[in-house]
Structure 1
Amino acid sequence: MKRRRWRDALLQQEDLNFLLTNRVPRIALTRFMGWFSKLRNPLVREASIAVWRLFTELDLSDAKKARFDSLHDCFTRELLPGAREVDADPGVLASPCDAIVGACGAVEGTRVFQAKGFPYEAAELFGDAGAMEPYRDGCYVTLRLTSSMYHRFHAPHDSQVERVTYISGDTWNVNPIALKRVERLFCRNERALVETRLQGSGHRIALVPVAAILVASLRLHCLDLLLHLGYRGPKRIDCDTPYRKGEEMGWFEHGSTIIVFAPAGFTLAEGIVTGQPIRMGQALMRLP
């Protein structure tokens, strides 16, 4: 309990938090972490996970494996079968990941918010104004994954991934402290636009995974490749990959953010408000 109070008091020092997680060589540190986390050394692994536990509420009780080969192996862990229940209602769009709900609600034309008083243009986030048009006046939810959470994400509905657009960028921290200080933060960071179409209804849904400091690597099964700061391949990749609701789509190398966009007529599910924890598979939005 004393450790928790000490840790929380330290993390709540906003100036210090912002300094330590942003006023550092972000990209260099992120690349180093990508290398370091994959070291298969028992001492490095155990020391790293111990430090991780010191600063987070890391819970591995629902992990499929009891022991991990590396810190990266722990970050990207799979869950035990049945550890998450996926809402089977076809009228529900399920959360693609475990997260804390950030800014959410109606898209105002093409404008959304990263935090109160900090709007940004979703067209800039998408990197293509035309790609944003299906979601004009629609609905959105920002889902923030903390470092201790389960880092894999899943299909929110029976759907077809039609296109992925990769947008390179910075690696600002995406915690609430940074979101209140850095304008258009999500539009600055490395990210991918995953465009999907729901089977049956034909509605278009967009998932925008946004990388952050110590992350900057995204695995998408529909591409069978790793998107990261050193990626030099095509930026826009057409796909034709079907997913069943709840099926795994990929993972982050660390915690970060997924922003979900839906067209006009979709509404937030009951209980979806800023600050609310949510688990993969729980109701996120309702179809028209």
Structure 2
Amino acid sequence: MKKTIFRLLTELSSRKSISRLTGAIAKSKASRSFIPRFAKTYGIRIEDAEKQLHEYGSLNDFFTRRLKPGLRPIDTTEHAVVSPVDALITGMGVIQDGTMLQVKGQDYTIAELLNNSPRQVNYKHGFFYVLYLSPTDYHRIHTPTSGKIVEKEHVPGKVYPVNEFGLRHMRRVLSRNERLITYIQHGSGEVAVVKVGALNVSSIQYVSPLPDQVQAGDELAYFEFGSTVVLLMENGTYSSRPELQVGSRVRMGEALGSLKPSSTN
């Protein structure tokens, strides 16, 4: 009964108008006073931040903070795919005939996740990660591989929570929430970086200017409050690190696995 009531309240609060209001408050100068308490509540390492706390103009400014240079080294191993974010892996595995199986007890089709894009066929038997960013995490999103940005798509939607409760008890939140999808072509094929909005995320923003050609680890976008990235690798192009599993924590720039050289495709 409690879960049913909470699910109903979450449905009612999942409208973009609520997130816009939350975002307006977080971007106001008055929200600066909440920064020290916010950092303490979530155990954020303020010493890692690029600036001092008093230098941030709003809570949102602090939340989307950059880190001091060198704190997230990028794995430069040939063919490496690096984590685009600091995150907890909440789902991963081989895509089975176009379906991501058992993400917190639910299955998702690539078709619905990619908004029925013609590119979905490229990932029908590929590999996926679901990477959850908590409020504690660094919230800038980086490119997982070098290559060329060949397509971008904004998919309007709801803003359900993407935490443990949302993924397990709300219906198919990854494919119902607002999404920003970026396709990056590399030497072996392409990857899709699906940025999923969430409750109290006022927006997902690309960095500006966003170049066509990117190097692994370049800034790509950022969340205004916590959310999730789904990373998709094309059919037959990728091998994950064997020790990674659901529940593993990864840092931006850390190798998740490797692409197969194009000559072997």
TM-score (normalised: structure 1): 0.82
Confirm whether residue 83 of structure 1 aligns to residue 54 of structure 2: no
The C-alpha deviation readout for 1:188-227, integer Å capped at 9, x for no partner, is 10001111101xx241110000000111411113676xxx
Q: How far did 1:52 drift?
A: 5.6
Q: How far did 1:284 drift?
A: 1.2
Map 1:193-232; keep pairs closer than 5 Å. Answer: 193-198=181-186, 201-221=187-207
Counterpart residue type for residue 282 of structure 1: E
Residues 1:270 and 1:174: Cα distance change in structure 2 (over 3 Å):
same
Aligned to 2:263: none
Bigger drift between 215-224 and 58-67 goes to 215-224
The C-alpha deviation readout for 1:18-50, integer Å capped at 9, x for no partner, is 569825523232111110011113xx3223541
For 1:113 and 1:223, how far apart are their aligned partners in 2?
36
For structure 2, list consecutive stretches of 5 or more residues without a partner in the other structure: 261-265
Aligned residues: 255
Counterpart residue type for residue 61 of structure 1: E
For structure 1, list consecutive stretches of 5 or more residues without a partner in the other structure: 1-13, 225-239
Confirm whether residue 65 of structure 1 aligns to residue 51 of structure 2: yes
Residues 1:187 and 1:223: Cα distance change in structure 2 (over 3 Å):
farther
Aligned to 1:286: 258
Q: Is the 8 A contact 1:190 1:210 kept in 2?
A: yes
SS at match of 1:119: strand
Counterpart residue type for residue 246 of structure 2: T
Q: Of the candidates 12, 16, 34, which is equivalent to residue 47 of structure 1? A: 34
Residues 1:66 and 1:156: Cα distance change in structure 2 (over 3 Å):
same
Aligned to 1:5: none
For 2:213 and 2:96, how far apart are their aligned partners in 1?
31
Confirm whether residue 35 of structure 1 aligns to residue 38 of structure 2: no
Q: Is the 8 A contact 1:171 1:216 kept in 2?
A: no
SS at match of 2:212: strand
Q: How far did 1:263 drift?
A: 1.5
For 2:60 and 2:9, how far apart are their aligned partners in 1?
20
Q: Is the 8 A contact 1:18 1:178 kept in 2?
A: no
Q: Of the candidates 228, 231, 236, which is equivalent to residue 257 of structure 1? A: 228
Q: Is the 8 A contact 1:142 1:259 kept in 2?
A: yes
Q: Of the candidates 266, 271, 284, which is equivalent to residue 243 of structure 2? A: 271
Q: Is the 8 A contact 1:100 1:145 kept in 2?
A: yes
Q: Of the candidates 222, 235, 243, which is equivalent to residue 214 of structure 2? A: 243
CA RMSD between the two structures: 2.2
Q: How far did 1:66 drift?
A: 0.8
For 2:125 and 2:177, how far apart are their aligned partners in 1?
24
Confirm whether residue 148 of structure 1 aligns to residue 136 of structure 2: yes
Counterpart residue type for residue 74 of structure 1: F
TM-score (normalised: structure 2): 0.89
Q: Is the 8 A contact 1:172 1:213 kept in 2?
A: yes
Q: How far did 1:260 drift?
A: 0.5
Aligned to 2:114: 126
Identity across the alignment (%): 28
SS at match of 1:286: strand
Map 1:87-166; keep pairs closer than 5 Å. Answer: 87-113=75-101, 115-166=103-154
Q: How far did 1:253 drift?
A: 0.6
Bigger drift between 209-218 and 111-120 goes to 111-120
Q: Is the 8 A contact 1:30 1:215 kept in 2?
A: yes
For 1:108 and 1:276, how far apart are their aligned partners in 2?
22
